Amino acid sequence: MSRLHILTIPDYERGTLPPEGYLQWHAWAKVQQKAGLRQKKCPRCGLYRYPQEPCRKDGVCPK
């Protein structure tokens, strides 16, 4: 009996918040990129992020 680990990645929409997980994030980022969103450098902490993406998960800029 074989067990397959199938990672299901849902469809993401433009402007939604980033998901948990590395692969999921990349799938999400691809959608944002296709939708015309671009990562920008946060003027406060210098992290690159999409406009709707918080600098950190708790939403606090680590400056």
**Residue 45 lies near Zn ion (rule: CB under 5 A):** yes
- The nearest distance, CB 27 to Zn ion, in angstroms, is 23
How far, in Å, CA of 45 to CA of 28, rounded? 23
Long-range interactions of 53-61: CB distance < 8 A, separation 24+: 53/17, 53/18, 54/17
Q: Is 44 in the site for Zn ion (CB under 5 A)?
A: yes
Structure tokens at 36: 């015309």
The residue range among 2-10, 17-25, 29-37, 44-52 that interacts with Zn ion, by the rule CB under 5 A, is: 44-52
> Binding of Zn ion at residue 55 (CB under 5 A)?
yes
Which residues of this protein are in contact with Zn ion, per CB under 5 A?
A: 42, 44-45, 55, 61
